[in-house]
Structure 1
C-alpha cells in the first residue's frame, strides 16, 4: 500500500465501521460481553494509532530530510514506544487485555545489551512483550519480523528506520536467513533488547500436531519425540539463536515465558474469550549474565532445549488460570 493512501483509507474504513459500532452498542443489550462493540471500537482505535505513527514519521522526515540528525533513530524509537503504549491502553480499556508479571523482572547488566528469547503463542504476544521490555525494562526493543508485515506502511517506514530485521518467507538457494538477525544483533546499543521468537511461529495444538507428522514423515524420529514431549510450545529453532549469541557474546540473555492466551489459537476461541478480564497475560522472565550462557552451538542447543522444557512445564501450570 502506498503510504499517502493509508490515512485516506483509514478514514473510509472508519466510515464503514461506524454502523458496525452502532449495531454493536445495541447488540450489547443481548450480549452482555459486548464483544462486537468492544472489538469494533478497538479496531478503529488501533488503526488510527497506526496512522498517527505514520504521520509522525512524515513529520520527522520533513524535519530532517537527509536523515542525518544525531537523534534520528531515537526520535523514531520514541514514536514507536508511544504508539505501543496507546495501543496497550486501548486494549486494556476495551477488551480487558492486561499484562502481569510472575515474579521480579531482572533487566540485565547496566551498560550491556540484552537478548530476549520468548515463547510465541496467542494473540498480540509480540506487541505485549515489546511493550513490556520498552516500558518496564527500559530497553528499546529490536524486533525480528516477517517480510509480509511490510504491507503496513507504518511498519515498513517506522521499523525500518529503527533497524528492525525483516525475514522473507522464502529465500533462494544459498541465502542466509540469519543475515538480518546477525546485523541486528551486531548493531545493538547498550540499552537495546533484541526480541526473538525461536519457535518461528505462533504455537497452536494444530501446528504442534502437523509438526510432529512432518518430522515422522521425514524420518526424524528423535525430533518428533522432542516435539511430542512439549505440550504448550514448539521445539525452538536454534540457527537464529546461535547467530545472535555468536555476534554478541557480551549480551545478557532473558528467557521469556507467558501464559493466559496460548490456547486461543482460532478466531472463535479469541472471540469467545472477550473480554479478557479474568485472563491476564502473565509473564515470567529469567535473565542470565553473558558469562553464564554457553557459546558452542551444541551447548547452546541443549541449553535452550532445557529452558524450553521449563517454559512448557510452567505454562502447563499457569495457562488455564493465568495467575501465579
Structure 2
C-alpha cells in the first residue's frame, strides 16, 4: 500500500500525539534498554553488532525527534502570535540542527555516510532552486534534505506524504516551515498538485523545493506494477522506456510540470544517488549493517532557469531522459 494509502491522523489524534509522544519516547527507551543490553552481549556472536547498533540508533533518533518537538513548544511560547520573519527562521534552525544530529548518530552507529560524486552546483544566488531526486533506499529523504541544507546552503521545502503527520514532530515542524503534505489516496476530492504549486509559488531565493518524482521508494515489485499501469493507461511508449530502467521507477510528471510552470525562474537540480537502492526489505537492510563500506553516493546536475523545456510534453521527455541517465549511472556505480 505504501504511505500514500495511509490516511492522516484526525485533528484530535494529532493534538493527543503531540502531548503523549515524549511520554511514549520514555516508555520506548525503557523497553529498548534490555534489547540494547542483549545486543551488547550478542555482539560477541555477531561481530557486526547489528542488534546493538540498531537499538542504540533507534533510541537516539527517538530522542532527536522529541527534542525537536520540545523546541516547537518553546517557539510557540516565545511567539504566541506565530508571526513575523523569525517564526519560520527559528523553526528552520531547529530542523537543520535535528537533521545534523540524526546524521551524526547514523554515521556513528551504523556507518551511514553521505559522499559526493563530483562538485555540487547550487544555482544562482538570486533565484530559488528546485531539486528532483531519485527515491530509493532507507533514509534517502533525510540524507538529501540534510545535504541540501548544510552543503548547498538552501532551506529544504519538502513534498511528503500526509501519513507522516502521525509523527507529531514532522507534523508541527514541517507544517510551520511551509512544506507540503500530499493528501493520501483516501482523501477524495483533494487536488494533489495544487499544494505543490502553492509551495513552489512561495519559494524564496535561498530555498530549495525537494521533490521525488517517483513518489515512492524503488522496489522491483513497484517497478513492475507501474509499468503495467502505464500500459493500461495507454502510455505504451513510456512503458517501453520504463522497462529499460532497472534501478529507478518511471517518474511521475504532474508535480514536476506544476512546479516548473509555477516557477520558470527557478534553477533545477537533478539528484541521483547510489549505494542503497537495492536495500528494499528489512532483511536486506539488516544484512548490510554497518554501512562502512557502502557510502550514500550523491551526484547532482544543475540547470539554469530558462534552459529547460516549458511545455508539458517537453518536460516529460526531459525528465525521462534524466531518469535514464540516473539509471545508467547507478548501474555503473553499483556494478
Q: Same fold (TM over 0.5)?
A: yes
Counterpart of 2:40 in structure 1 is 25
State the Cα distance separating 1:124 from its structure 2 match: 0.4
Cα RMSD of the aligned pairs, angstroms, is 1.3
What is the number of residues matched between the two proteins? 320
- Of 44, 51, 65, which aligns to 1:36? 51
In structure 2, stretches of 5+ residues that fail to align are 1-12
**Structure 2 counterpart SS, 1:295:** coil
**1:299 paired to 2:314:** yes
Q: Answer whether contact 1:262 1:319 (CA < 8 A) is retained.
A: no
- Name which of structure 1's ranges 178-187 and 220-229 shifts more when overlaid on structure 2: 220-229
- Of 87, 101, 118, which aligns to 2:133? 118
Counterpart of 1:67 in structure 2 is 82
Superposed CA offset, 1:48-74 (max 9, x none): 000000000000000111112320000
Counterpart of 1:56 in structure 2 is 71
**1:94 paired to 2:101:** no
Superposition map of 1:136-151 within 5 A: 136-151=151-166
Superposition map of 1:1-324 within 5 A: 1=13, 2=16, 3-170=18-185, 175-217=190-232, 220-320=235-335
In structure 1, stretches of 5+ residues that fail to align are none
Q: Distance in 1 between matches of 2:45 and 2:188?
A: 56
Q: Distance in 1 between matches of 2:226 and 2:153?
A: 36
State the Cα distance separating 1:171 from its structure 2 match: 5.8
Q: Answer whether contact 2:223 2:250 (CA < 8 A) is retained.
A: no
Superposed CA offset, 1:198-219 (max 9, x none): 0111111121122223444555
Q: Answer whether contact 2:66 2:169 (CA < 8 A) is retained.
A: yes
Superposed CA offset, 1:63-117 (max 9, x none): 1111123200000000000000000000000000000000000011012100000
Q: Distance in 1 between matches of 2:248 and 2:220?
A: 9
